[in-house]
């Protein structure tokens, strides 16, 4: 199977066998977001499609086998994007990012727009020429009935979303056929003409599938947006969590509150601490150097606390990111460790609040994303939450999830359970350290009290 994982920062393409082994892969960073006017955040030009096409070609070049041996494609793209298309399926403007202020608002009718869809709907049309899309990428402001995962039967829902039914794609379930690779798509991507393309879900849900998350575990996804989620059989929402569509037909994910620009902030700190072009003399990456240094810093980072609001939540737009507690004894190791601890503590509070609301308890935390590569981060998560943290067996769990969907869709595995059992392998387990658990308890208590002091300050600064 060829798995396309188009995320917020890069596009990854993997060629995966029926045992879940990645036999070839390629990755290309996306271009920086464009800001054509205040509040508008878009993927410049046709960057999503261009990156997918070029990354497919690169993965095929890295593949030692025959491209005709590829049985199917699984397509996974970024969630909460909006694509506006003309009658032929071409973009009328660049794809709107999840950060664009227009995405959570009703669509404003434009005579040039014939279709309103998601990033996956747009890429499906580029690959197959069909106006089909996965139902599991329509969380947010769309006229969809979450319990049927089909377009609503209530005309008022279409009016509220500003989207007539005629402007919306046909919906299919994860693992269902979206279409076949067209001659134009084959010329752009190098994929064989006629290759079937199968639906997945939104990128976070596909990641949960590839990580093997079930109703007894919780996924901590360390991406640009950091979220925690677990499987559920019913649609459930509340102040501590919201419902998303799972990458299994008619199943759901319960997702906690999260951190906007989560791992982006880690990269920001890394780049802030080192001059452009600096490389460690011993050949390590900057991340490896910082993690090694931070591992030597004490738990609690010498009293340094980080507020992770480099992108404020929509319900508290006055918030800003902050480092609090400098006294001259801390260095870059404390600064970096403080960010990692803030991520773990913030998400631990969110996970526990979701557990209490759902009346559930999770045996372990499965950690995915770039941050999961750090042994230090994995141990901090285990100690802060006081339960085992499991590093997913594959770096790109979303890519594996897309391959699982393709394998089920094309019939290489008989059903979802069989595919998951065959393709999702065990990862590395980090067990809680008793002393670490004890030392983080007072640190967590200080974090919980921090908002009551910081919010009035940032609110006053915003007003000024």
pTM listed for this prediction:
0.84
Q: Which of 202, 225, 246 is the last residue of a domain?
A: 202
DSSP state string for 329-359: ---HHHHHHHHHHHHHHHHHHHHHHHHHHHT
Specify if 407 maps to a domain: no
Q: Is 196 exposed, middle or buried (0-12, 13-18, 19+ CB in 10 A)?
A: middle
Query: Quick one: 285 and 335 in the same domain?
Result: yes
Give the relative orientation of helices 397-410 and 416-423 as an angle to the nearest 10 degrees: 140
pLDDT for 393: 83
Specify if 382 maps to a domain: yes
Query: Quick one: 290 and 173 in the same domain?
Result: no
What does the block give as tokens for 162? Answer: 């500003």
How many domains is the chain built from? Answer: 2
CB atoms within 10 A of CB 341: 28
pLDDT for 333: 97
453 half-sphere exposure, CB direction, 13 A CA radius: 8
Q: Characterize the bridge pairing of strands 150-151 and 144-145.
A: antiparallel
Query: Quick one: 198 and 294 in the same domain?
Result: no
Query: Quick one: 189 and 336 in the same domain?
Result: no
User: For residue 222, what is the domain's CATH number?
Assistant: 3.30.420.40
Specify if 59 maps to a domain: yes
Q: In what order do the strands lie in the sheet with 2-6?
A: 22-29, 10-16, 2-6, 73-77, 196-202, 177-180
The residues near 426 (Cβ < 8 Å, ≥ 6 apart) are: 393
Q: Which residues of 125-156 are buried (b: 16+ CB within 10 A; e: fewer)?
A: bbbbbbbbbbbbbbbbbbbbebeebebbeeee
Q: Which of 158, 179, 202 is the last residue of a domain?
A: 202
Query: Quick one: 158 and 289 in the same domain?
Result: no
Residue by residue, pLDDT tens for the chain (464 residues) are 999 999 888 999 999 999 999 999 999 999 999 999 999 999 999 999 999 999 999 999 999 999 999 999 999 999 999 999 999 999 999 999 999 999 999 999 889 999 999 999 999 999 999 999 999 999 889 999 998 999 999 999 999 999 999 999 999 999 999 999 999 999 999 999 999 999 999 998 999 999 999 888 999 999 888 989 998 888 888 899 999 999 999 899 999 999 999 999 999 999 999 988 899 999 999 999 999 999 999 999 999 999 999 999 888 999 999 999 999 999 999 999 999 999 999 999 999 999 999 998 999 999 998 899 999 999 999 999 999 999 988 878 999 999 999 999 999 999 999 999 999 988 899 999 999 999 999 999 999 999 999 999 999 999 98
Query: Quick one: 133 and 240 in the same domain?
Result: no
Q: Is 162 exposed, middle or buried (0-12, 13-18, 19+ CB in 10 A)?
A: middle
What does the block give as tokens for 138? Answer: 């329509």
State how far the Cα of 290 lies from the Cα of 336, in Å rounded to an integer. Answer: 7
Query: Quick one: 249 and 194 in the same domain?
Result: no
What does the block give as tokens for 122? Answer: 């747009």
pLDDT for 369: 85
pLDDT for 454: 95
pLDDT for 395: 79
> Nearest-CA neighbor of 439 among 306, 298, 294?
298
Query: Quick one: 231 and 182 in the same domain?
Result: no
pLDDT for 236: 85
Specify if 410 maps to a domain: no
Query: Quick one: 84 and 107 in the same domain?
Result: yes
Specify if 287 maps to a domain: yes
From the centroid of its chain, how far is CA 463?
33
Q: Which of 202, 235, 269 is the last residue of a domain?
A: 202
Query: Quick one: 246 and 189 in the same domain?
Result: no
Structural domain span for residue 375: 213-391+433-464
Specify if 332 maps to a domain: yes
Query: Quick one: 165 and 264 in the same domain?
Result: no
What does the block give as tokens for 114? Answer: 């014939």
Give the relative orientation of helices 332-358 and 262-273 as an angle to the nearest 10 degrees: 180
Specify if 328 maps to a domain: yes
Query: Quick one: 58 and 174 in the same domain?
Result: yes
Q: Is 443 exposed, middle or buried (0-12, 13-18, 19+ CB in 10 A)?
A: middle
Neighbouring-strand partners of residue 229: 219, 255
pLDDT for 246: 95
State how far the Cα of 13 lies from the Cα of 200, in Å rounded to an integer. Answer: 14
Specify if 426 maps to a domain: no
Q: Is 375 exposed, middle or buried (0-12, 13-18, 19+ CB in 10 A)?
A: middle
pLDDT for 234: 87
């Amino acid at each position: 199977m060829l798995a396309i994982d188009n995320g917020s920062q890069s596009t990854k393409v993997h060629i995966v066998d029926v045992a879940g082994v990645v036999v070839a892969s390629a990755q290309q960073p996306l271009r920086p977001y464009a800001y054509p006017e205040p509040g508008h955040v878009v993927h410049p030009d046709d960057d999503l499609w261009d990156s997918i096409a070029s990354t497919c070609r690169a993965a095929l070049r890295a593949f030692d086998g025959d491209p005709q041996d590829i049985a199917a494609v699984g397509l996974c793209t970024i969630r909460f994007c909006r694509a506006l298309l003309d009658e032929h399926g071409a973009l009328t403007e660049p794809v709107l990012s999840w950060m664009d202020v227009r995405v959570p608002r009703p669509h404003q009718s434009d005579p040039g727009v014939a279709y309103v869809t998601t990033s996956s709907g747009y890429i499906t049309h580029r690959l197959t020429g069909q106006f089909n899309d996965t139902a599991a990428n329509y969380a947010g402001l769309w006229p969809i009935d979450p319990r049927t995962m089909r377009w609503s039967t209530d005309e008022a829902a279409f009016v509220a979303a500003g989207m007539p039914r005629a402007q919306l794609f046909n919906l299919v379930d994860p693992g269902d056929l979206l279409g076949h690779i067209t001659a134009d798509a084959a010329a752009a991507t190098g994929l064989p003409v006629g290759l079937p393309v199968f639906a997945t879900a939104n990128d976070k849900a596909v990641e949960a599938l590839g990580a093997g998350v079930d109703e007894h575990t919780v996924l901590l996804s360390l991406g640009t947006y950091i979220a925690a989620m677990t499987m559920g059989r019913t649609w459930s929402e509340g102040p501590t969590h919201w419902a998303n569509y799972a990458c299994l037909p008619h199943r759901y994910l319960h997702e906690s509150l999260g951190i906007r620009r989560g791992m982006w902030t880690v990269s920001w700190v890394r780049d802030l601490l080192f001059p452009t072009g600096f490389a460690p003399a011993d050949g390590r990456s900057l991340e490896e150097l910082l993690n090694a240094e931070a591992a030597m810093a004490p738990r609690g980072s010498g009293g340094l606390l980080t507020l992770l609001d480099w992108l404020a939540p929509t319900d508290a737009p006055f918030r800003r990111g902050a480092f609090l507690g400098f006294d001259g004894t801390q260095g870059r190791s404390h600064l970096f460790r403080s960010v990692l601890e803030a991520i773990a503590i913030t998400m631990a509070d969110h996970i526990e609040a979701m557990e209490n609301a759902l009346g559930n308890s999770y045996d372990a935390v499965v950690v995915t994303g770039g941050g999961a590569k750090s042994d230090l981060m994995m141990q901090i998560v285990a100690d802060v939450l006081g339960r085992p943290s499991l590093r997913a067996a594959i770096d790109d769990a979303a890519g594996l999830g897309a391959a699982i969907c393709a394998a089920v869709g094309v019939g290489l595995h008989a059903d979802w359970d069989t595919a998951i059992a065959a393709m999702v392998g065990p990862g590395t387990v980090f067990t809680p350290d008793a002393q670490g658990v004890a030392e983080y308890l007072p640190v967590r208590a200080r974090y919980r009290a921090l908002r009551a002091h910081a919010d009035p300050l940032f609110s006053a600064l915003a007003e000024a």
